[in-house]
Amino acid sequence: MPIGVFARTLLTAVGMIPAVARWRTFTIAGASYPESHAQIAPPFGLVPRQEWLAYKALVGLLPTSVRVPALGDYAVAHPDLVSRRRS
């Protein structure tokens, strides 16, 4: 899904949360991780972090009267398993 569309979807979801201003904390968490490291150039290749881009887009859409959530970012592995090829 394009980042802008996803950010607007998040904005709608945030608007549906009851009494979020009274919550002690408010965090949106996301994770993106490549299916394979084969495309990452060593030694320090960059991986686009879709959740960070979506969070920045969301914060840009929030009216000043709406509480800005914190971002929880984690990535340990891609959700789809990659099959190993035997040689």
Interval 7-48: pLDDT, tens: 999 999 988 999 988 899 999 988 777 777 777 877 877 777
Report how far residue 75's alpha carbon sits from residue 87's, in angstroms, rounded to the nearest whole number: 30
Give pLDDT, residue 87. 53
Distances (CA, A) of 44 to 9, 41, 47, 63, 76: 33, 7, 9, 37, 17
pLDDT band at 49, cuts 50/70/90?
Answer: confident
pLDDT band at 61, cuts 50/70/90?
Answer: very high
Residue ranges per structural domain of the chain: 3-73
Go through 16-28 and write b for each residue having 16 or more CB atoms within 10 A of its CB, e for each that does not: eeeeeeeeeeeeb
Report how far residue 50's alpha carbon sits from residue 41's, in angstroms, rounded to the nearest whole number: 19
Give pLDDT, residue 35. 75
